[in-house]
Amino acid sequence: MKVATVTLNPAIDQTVRVASLEPGHVHRARTMLLQAGGKGINVAAFLAASGCPVIATGFLGSENASVFERFFAERGIADAFVRLPGQTRIDIKIVDEERRETTDINLPGLAPSEEALSKLWQTVEDLAADCRWFVLAGALPPAVPSSLYATLIARLKALGRLTVLDASGEALAQGILAGPTLVKPNRVELEQLVGQPLTSPSAVAQAARSLLRHDIRRVVVSLGEQGALFVEGEQVLQALPPAVTVESTVGAGDAMVAALVLAEQRGLDLAATARLATAYALARITRLDGTLPPSTVLEDYSERVQLSPLALLSAEG
C-alpha cells in the first residue's frame, strides 16, 4: 500500500549560503535557492526517491502553490493538499559555509478555517483506503488546537492504520498520549517532553523507553553527531555514524523518518532499521541538493554504522 504524509504548516524554504555569518554585518550571498519545504513534504520526497508510492496532504496557500506543484511533479509525489486562501509561509535558512552551520528563521504560516479542517479530515479518511502508513510531521499552523495530531492518530488507529509522529512541544506531548506506532523526537524535544536534561545515552534511552507504555511500538531519538537511539520493547541500540563531511544538516531527521517507514515496509528488525535510518540521515547531510545518492553509497554508509546495545536499560526501565 501507499504511504501518506501530513504537513499541516509547510513552507517555501529560502536557503541563502554565505561564507561566514556575522550578526549585525552586511553579507554577500553566494547562492540562493527556493524550494518546497516542510517535514512531511521532505519525508515524501525521500520515500518517492526510494521507489515508495507516496501521497502528500496538509494545507497549502493557493497563491504560491505552484512552487509545491512543480516539486511534486518532479519528485513523483501525489498531491492531496487542501488549498487555503493566501500564501504559504517562507522560511529563511542561512547556511554558514565556514562553520557548516544553518540558522533558521521560521514564519508562523496560515491559519486554516473550520471548513478547511473539515476538508482535511475527509481527505485523510479517503487516503486511508489506499495508505497503510501515515507520517504526521512538523509544526502545527496557527489557531489550531495542540491536540490536532492526537486526534488524527486516534482516527487513523480506529481505521486500522499505522502512524509516525515527528513533532515537538505540546503537539508531541499530546500526540504521544494517542499512541502513534512510531515516534521520532530529537534529544531536545525529548528533554522538553520529560522535563529534565538528558546528559547521557542511557538517560536518553530510559526516557525514550518510558514512552512505550503509551501503545508506541518503537521510539527513535536523533542525537546529532552521536547518531541516534533506537528503542523497541526491551531492546535499546545506539547507532553511531561514520565520520563524514557535513554539507547541511537540514532534512536529516526527515530522511531518517522516511527510512523508518521503509524499514517497516520491508519487515526489518531493529538493528537493520537502525543501519538503514542512519544511512539515510548520512546521505542527506553529505549532499546539498536534497536528493539521495546511489544505492551503493547508502549500502556503504549502512555497513559502516556502528551499533552498540544498551542492555542496562532493561533493569532501569
**Active site positions, annotated:** 254
Which cell numbers in the block locate residue 208?
A: 525514550
Within 57-215, where are the H helices? 66-75, 114-127, 148-158, 169-177, 187-194, 201-210
- CA dihedral angle for residue 127, residue 90, residue 23, residue 98, rounded to 10 degrees: 60
Q: Is 267 left (phi over 0), alpha (psi -120 to 50) or beta?
A: left
Torsion over CA: 47, 51, 52, 54 (sign): positive
Rg (CA), the chain: 19
User: How far from each other are the two terminal CA atoms of the chain, in whole angstroms?
Assistant: 36
Which letter does DSSP use for residue 310 in this model?
Answer: -
C-alpha 85 chain-centroid distance: 26
Residue type, 18: V
